Every structure is written in structure tokens, then in C-alpha cells.
């Protein structure tokens, strides 16, 4: 079954669901899966609807055009997308390759519905790993004083690749604020701590020093405020006194891989809706 996905958020008001389902019914659409959430603290409405594409009487472009006036009236942010039109993503990595390897494996196994358009790295370490999968590998090193130029190159790669989503898979360079703004809601990072604990550098060392009994990882959208973006997913694992910093790094890798893979998967299937600092995630 092919699916067409409507994703929509707007201020809450009476009868929203009925109006949207009526619109779909009007065009013959058979609903396969409906998620709805009303955040009454924020007065905001969120929905995701999966329609059987075959039942729709209009082609995609026309469906969007017909939906536009209703969406405008509702003051909505929305997308309508065919599941089969996979998003294009660019992976960014530095010297720790566990998330990269994990994402590549899941992508080949069909767990991540996307095309990987390119991998960008500030080191050469993973060229072979990437190129043997038939994916273009771009080495953009950082030399002092030329950070701006590097990011200009990087954004060009993103744009040329037609990227819908950028995934920072343990990429250790800070994305400049203007890039964050232009790509808002389209850059996902994995932070190696259970945010908001241990914002910034060396979280595992600091977790060891603080003596926490659980360590974690956080998958979040990137915003100009470092490690402050909306959270998609978090994962934790028990830490015990006999785990030194090296052990925490090892245990943490499993958290990082899982939190990132889930967050990316949900984004790719239009299951994440943003509202300020919070996300609505219709998990699968």
C-alpha cells in the first residue's frame, strides 16, 4: 500500500479534525492511520494522517493546491508528502564512526526510508566505509581562521544534494547560527548526554565525576543555542561505580546509536511535529 502523509500543526479550535477528515473524504481518501494531539497547555493542535494514495482522486500537486485555502484559514504549518518520495539526507561525521556505521547499516536494511545523498566529514577516516556503499564522500577540513569558508562549502554540498535533512552523526564542529536559522527543523544532532544534563564538552567525563547512576544520549534539532534545540528522543543505560570513563563511552555509544536512529526514522516518516522547544512524536 502506498501512502500519502498529511502533517499539520495549528492553533487549536473546535472541529479541526472533522474539517480535515471531511476534506480527505471529499477527495476519496481512505485513512489508514490517524494521529491527533491537542496540547491544552499551549492551545495548539497537531495531526498526522496517512491516506491510501490509490484512493485519492487528485494527483499530489493538485491535492496540495486544494488543501491550501483550508490550511491558510487554520493558520497552519503543514506538509503533504508521498511516502514513496523519500527524503534526501546528508550525514556529517568527525572521527567517531559508530553512529555513521549504524545509520548506514539501518539504511541498507530498510529501516531508514531515505536516500543518502552525501557524507561530509572533517577527517578522511571514513572515506572507504562511505564510498563502498556508493555514496559520495566530501572531506571538508577545518583550518584555523577558515571556518566560515568551510561552512560555505558545506552548505553548498547540502544545497547541491537537494538535502531535506542533515544528520550530525557525532560531528564535532559547531554549526554557525546563520546556517542553523536557514535550516531550522532540518538538522538533527546526537548529543552524548541526557540533556539538559551535561550540556557542552566531555559529558561522559563529567557524568563520571558527578557519579550519576544512569547515562544517556539525546537526539535533538539543532538551533543556534548549543544543545538547547527541541528533543526528538532520549535513551539511557545504567552506570555503576565500576564503570570508568572509558566504560561510559562504550555504554553510551549504544544509547547514541539508538536515540539517533529512532529520531531520524521518525523525522523521515513525518512523525515529528515541532512547537517551540517541544516536539510531538507520533512514534512507530
Task: Give me the residues that bind a second copy (CB under 8 A), please.
Answer: 14-18, 21-22, 24-25, 30-41, 46, 55, 98, 101-102, 105, 109, 111, 132, 194-198, 208-214, 216, 230-234, 236, 240-245, 247, 250, 253-254, 258, 277-281, 283-284
What's the min distance (Å) between Cβ of 71 and a second copy? 18
Nearest to 252 by CA among 265, 267, 239: 239
What's the min distance (Å) between Cβ of 97 and a second copy? 8
Nearer to a second copy, 111 or 115 (CB): 111
227 is catalytic: yes
| Cα separation, 134 vs 28, whole angstroms | 41
Nearer to a second copy, 122 or 258 (CB): 258
Where does residue 211 fall: left (phi above 0), alpha (psi -120 to 50 degrees), or beta otherwise? left
- Is 54:2 a contact under the CB 8 Å cutoff? yes
Instruction: Give the number of other CB atoms < 10 A from CB of residue 270.
Output: 20
Helix (H, G, I), strand (E, B) or coil at 244: coil
* 23 Cβ neighbours under 8 A, 6+ residues apart: 66, 67, 70
| Residue 93 cell numbers, joined | 561525521
What's the min distance (Å) between Cβ of 49 and a second copy? 9
What's the min distance (Å) between Cβ of 98 and a second copy? 7
| Residue 25 cell numbers, joined | 473524504
| Residue 63 cell numbers, joined | 491535492
Nearer to a second copy, 22 or 72 (CB): 22
Catalytic residue among 12, 115, 227, 254: 227
Nearer to a second copy, 98 or 150 (CB): 98
Q: Which positions are annotated as active-site residues?
A: 227
Amino acid at each position: 500500500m502506498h501512502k500519502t502523509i498529511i502533517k499539520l500543526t495549528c492553533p487549536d479550535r473546535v472541529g479541526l479534525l472533522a474539517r480535515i477528515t471531511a476534506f480527505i473524504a471529499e477527495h476519496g481518501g481512505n485513512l489508514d492511520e490517524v494521529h491527533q494531539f491537542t496540547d491544552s497547555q499551549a492551545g495548539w493542535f497537531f495531526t498526522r494522517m496517512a491516506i491510501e494514495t490509490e484512493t485519492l482522486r487528485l494527483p499530489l500537486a493538485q491535492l496540495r493546491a486544494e488543501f491550501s485555502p483550508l490550511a491558510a484559514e487554520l493558520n497552519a504549518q503543514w506538509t503533504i508528502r508521498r511516502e514513496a518520495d523519500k527524503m534526501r539526507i546528508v550525514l556529517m561525521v568527525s572521527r567517531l564512526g559508530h553512529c555513521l556505521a549504524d545509520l548506514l547499516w539501518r539504511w541498507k536494511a530498510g529501516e531508514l526510508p531515505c536516500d543518502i545523498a552525501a557524507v561530509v566529514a572533517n577527517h578522511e577516516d571514513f572515506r572507504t566505509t562511505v564510498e563502498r556503499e556508493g555514496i559520495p564522500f566530501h572531506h571538508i577540513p577545518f583550518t584555523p581562521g577558515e571556518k566560515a569558508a568551510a561552512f560555505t562549502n558545506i552548505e553548498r554540498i547540502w544545497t547541491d544534494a537537494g538535502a531535506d535533512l542533515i544528520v550530525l552523526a557525532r560531528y564535532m564542529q559547531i554549526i554557525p547560527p546563520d546556517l542553523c536559522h536557514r535550516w531550522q527543523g532540518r538538522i538533527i544532532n546526537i548529543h552524548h548526554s541526557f540533556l539538559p544534563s551535561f550540556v557542552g564538552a566531555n559529558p561522559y567525563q563529567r557524568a563520571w565525576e558527578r557519579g550519576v547512576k544512569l547515562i544517556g544520549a539525546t537526539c535533538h534539532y539543532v538551533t543556534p543555542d548549543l544543545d538547547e534545540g527541541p528533543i526528538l528522543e532520549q535513551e539511557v543505560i545504567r552506570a555503576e561505580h565500576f564503570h570508568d570513563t572509558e566504560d561510559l563511552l562504550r555504554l553510551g555509544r549504544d544509547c547514541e546509536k539508538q536515540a539517533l536512529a529512532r529520531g531520524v526514522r521518525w523525522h523521515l516518516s513525518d512523525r515529528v511535529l515541532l512547537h517551540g522547544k517541544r516536539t510531538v512524536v507520533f512514534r512507530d
